[in-house]
Structure 1
Amino acid sequence: MTMSSNEATRRQVLARTGALGAGIAFTGALSELFAGTAAAQSLGHTGYGPLVPDPDGLLDLPRGFRYRVLSREGDRLRSGEGPVPSNHDGMSAFPARNGGVHLVRNHENRADGRVPVPTVEGLTYDPEGKGGCTALTLDSRNRVLSERVAIAGTAVNCAGGPTPWHTWLTCEETEDKAGTNGYTKDHGFIFEVDPADPHRTGAVPLTAMGRFQHEAIAVDPRRGVVYETEDAFERPFGLFYRFLPRKPLGGRGSLRAGGRLQAMRVPGVPDLSSIQETGAAFDGVEWVDVPDPLAAGTPIRFQDFGRGGITHAQKLEGCYWGGECVYFVSSFAHSDEGSAADHYGQIWRYDPERRRLTLVIVFGPDTDVQLPGESPDNICLAPSGGLMVCEDGGGAQHVFGVTRRGEVYAMARGAQNIGTPQEPEWGEFAGVTFSPDGDTMYVNCYTPGTTFAVTGPWRR
């Protein structure tokens, strides 16, 4: 959820000139993103109409849709453990009893987090860590039944991903070690969170999955391989990883048994930003063992991967599994920050059966510099047959829908002005996800931390 100063400035200018949200800006075959999924059976749609300003100043939606505020930062957790933490980020929804839903929500708090995650006995990794997760249980009408701490004492919990056994893997987007920023333990790990009973998973780092600036994960539901993205902020940029568990698909707690961490090498491609042509495909992708997954002395992306090096990419963020492939997002790349070339977003597909990597989507600048064609971040498949995409940046903030035919439409717009009337600002969206029955979209506003449940004619 971090962007460069150049990106922030450019997007703020676009916001003030009215260019934000003006049109589509990508090339590529959107239908590839849905191959083999339920969404591929839908014809998609061109949106739900214009956004209607919310008289309560929270969330603008198309006519026929409505929202419920589930939780806001600073309110009291229903568990009585303390206030709702700030910086709402990645999130996922899981089935609960009687048609209800469990939500697990990240809080990307750093050492100076506004409202830290309260420490709870048995759920706290490092008492000086301000991040973590909270868990909400909802009934079938999206009424909040409970809200509690799910893990505490972690740091910069950005994104993550669900497992096939209905737990959440929350990712720390930091490399800070003990003694840095007051921390008493090393950070940069993945933790497993059970949404139904967080005490069953506790606060145990999955150290074999690596210590680096984690962003998101996706699990291959057939092989049990876990794919991981790294959002490193400085050169050399992040890597794309896979984790081979000793107990693949073993259920809750099985990842603690360890495994092998490997990084992707695309022969002849040291930097993914150098590839600009959609449809470009690379066979023979290699996976190289990480020399020191714990990065005891050297961050992983700096380590020696031997002859041939390793493949880097700037702003590796969203990651999800679709059909027989894993998809991952590079939100942007800037040559003046060290990337080989410029782009405003790429979506890559890796086919493990063929060991083939394909560039599916490119967002600007060769197509257009206007939104929503830049800086995609959190992405999820929508039950109506398409994608929901959260923007990551400054200016007006939207959740955009993307149909299989490539049409882009605004699904939601943040209306909470955290700036001034003269210089308005809006908190970005994060954690978009759908209920198991597909009838509700859940999404977070990062600042001020707000979790919404959006219902309406999704299947129209």
Structure 2
Amino acid sequence: MSRTTDARTTDARRSTDARQSATRRQILARTGALGVGIAFAGELSELFTGSAAAQGRAGYGPLIEDPAGLLDLPKGFRYKVLSREGDDLRSHEGKVPSNHDGMAAFAGGQGRVHLVRNHENRVTGRIPVPLVDGITYDPAAKGGCTALTLDRHNDVLGERVAIAGTAVNCAGGPTPWGTWLTCEETEDRAGTNGYTKDHGFIFEVDPVDPRRSGAVPLTAMGRFQHEAIAVDPRRGVVYETEDAFDKPFGLFYRFLPDKPRGGLGSLRAGGTLQAMRVPGVPDLSAVQETGATFGGIEWVDVPDPLAATTAIRNQDFGPKGITHAQKLEGCYWGGSCVYFVSSYARSREGSAADHFGQIWRYDPSSRRLTLVVVFGPDTDVRLPGEEPDNICLAPSGGLMVCEDGEGAQHVFGVTRKGEVYAMARGRQNIGTAEEPAWGEFAGVTFSPRGDTMYVNVYTPGTTFAVTGPWHE
């Protein structure tokens, strides 16, 4: 997810001639003290199946500057810092690791909430996930997850390591049976970067008792640069995104488990990994018009899910090939469909066309794929509102989207009417006074009761609980 540790940080700003759907674009009012400007195109009603209707206005008003210099929010909202990198874990297992990333919230007894949080540590991670017996995969790896237990007032009751010895834990997703699937965004093999085991897998984490889940790679679900997953709760199918920023770009996958009923450990029983083929569309970035729909979507068995000699996206999928897309990231299930995000596409890096962020919808019943949303700046690429990343449904009847671009960093809301507004802005300056910089947001999720938004700032690793008039 984060581009802070690779060559992507040196990229020049993308060109301003990315093709947009101007006829249906909604140019939005500038929001907040810093004047956020965003362009948006798309039809959104289908995104919010099962959530309450929006209440008319776009957002909750302008952002109020935080005197503490941590998080700007609209009037009536407040935050609590739950955890920061470098603090002592309440379990006394070590320090809170750095690089806070994907996250999910699970209901506990007596109004409690269990948060599971990824740490996207590479070999250069500032503060590694402490190694704990029984839940460590590769002692040479610095990534993993931590788990927090909160009471109904969002006071932290416990914080501990949930899995250790994994690498570059980026995003993932919750399962219908109440576990977290954490994804490694790397393909490093044993012997690379000092690792003692192969990486690039998904691991299941029990948020209540991590020792029940252990540290077992779900090898049948593929070895590649995983980003996020979403589970079809009726069929048990797991959809997976691959975050590849250079060619050959990533694929969109589905995993057909041998035990589709689910349950802790069920995915270890194996299954079939397939990749999506859109007939006649080798690169999703070539599709620019929102509402464009493709029928007859095909799913092709992956020749070698373990990528023993060749990365999956390089493998031979037959004369028809396979469909690629640059920077496939967020993924979630809504209503009867799965939605996934392409964070951006750049023709100078090999994509068929440029865009500033797309959301796609796949309907398993009709086998149809539709481009639903296009994000991007209106006239100035220096403005925020680009490179959508983590994404979730909000109880107020819309989406919350984490921005992963340059400059100021926001959590954006998107209403049913397609209006985009700033919900939060990070204030922790990780640059200098002359050249300020801010860490991206990640892991946005809501409490089971819908009264709290939890979100991470990647750097410095910080987890916030945001409360306020969500249903107004």
> TM range, normalised to the smaller chain?
over 0.9
3-state DSSP class of the match of 2:267? helix
Does 2:68 correspond to 1:48?
Answer: no
Change (3 A) 1:417 1:8: farther
Does 2:283 correspond to 1:283?
Answer: no
Match of 2:191 in 1: 179
1:375 paired residue among 375, 387, 395: 387
Match of 1:152 in 2: 164
Match of 2:24 in 1: none
Deviations 1:37-93 (A, max 9, x none): 223x44453111111111111111111111110000000000000000000000000
1:23 paired residue among 33, 37, 53: 37
Alignment of 1:336-355 (within 5 A): 336-355=348-367
Match of 2:418 in 1: 406
Match of 2:456 in 1: 444
Deviations 1:377-407 (A, max 9, x none): 0000000110111001221111111111111
Does 2:246 correspond to 1:246?
Answer: no
Deviations 1:266-287 (A, max 9, x none): 0110000000011111000000
Conserved in 1, the CA contact under 8 Å of 2:382 and 2:407? no
Conserved in 1, the CA contact under 8 Å of 2:221 and 2:255? yes
Does 2:314 correspond to 1:302?
Answer: yes
Change (3 A) 1:361 1:145: same
Match of 2:173 in 1: 161
TM-score in terms of structure 1 length: 0.95
3-state DSSP class of the match of 2:470? coil
2:47 paired residue among 12, 33, 45: 33
Conserved in 2, the CA contact under 8 Å of 1:23 and 1:370? no
Conserved in 1, the CA contact under 8 Å of 2:37 and 2:377? no
Unaligned runs of 5+ in 1: 12-17
TM-score in terms of structure 2 length: 0.93
1:2 to partner: Cα distance: 3.8
Conserved in 2, the CA contact under 8 Å of 1:87 and 1:447? yes
Change (3 A) 1:207 1:147: same
1:366 to partner: Cα distance: 8.3
Change (3 A) 1:20 1:393: farther
1:289 to partner: Cα distance: 0.1
3-state DSSP class of the match of 2:165? strand
2:95 paired residue among 58, 74, 83: 83
Give the distance between the partners of 2:426 and 2:381, measured in 1 at CA. 21
Change (3 A) 1:19 1:413: closer
Match of 1:15 in 2: none
Does 2:407 correspond to 1:395?
Answer: yes
Does 2:113 correspond to 1:116?
Answer: no
Give the distance between the partners of 2:288 and 2:44, measured in 1 at CA. 16
Taking every aligned residue pair, what percent have the same amino acid on both sides?
A: 81
Conserved in 2, the CA contact under 8 Å of 1:137 and 1:144? yes
- Amino acid aligned to 1:137: T
Change (3 A) 1:368 1:424: closer
- Amino acid aligned to 1:29: E
- Amino acid aligned to 1:176: D
1:233 to partner: Cα distance: 2.5
- The count of residues paired between Structure 1 and Structure 2 equals 452
Give the distance between the partners of 1:102 and 1:65, measured in 2 at CA. 22
1:367 to partner: Cα distance: 7.9
- Amino acid aligned to 1:76: D
- Amino acid aligned to 1:32: E
- Amino acid aligned to 1:250: G
1:237 to partner: Cα distance: 0.2
CA RMSD of aligned residues (A): 1.7
Give the distance between the partners of 2:119 and 2:147, measured in 1 at CA. 11
Match of 1:71 in 2: 83
Match of 1:333 in 2: 345
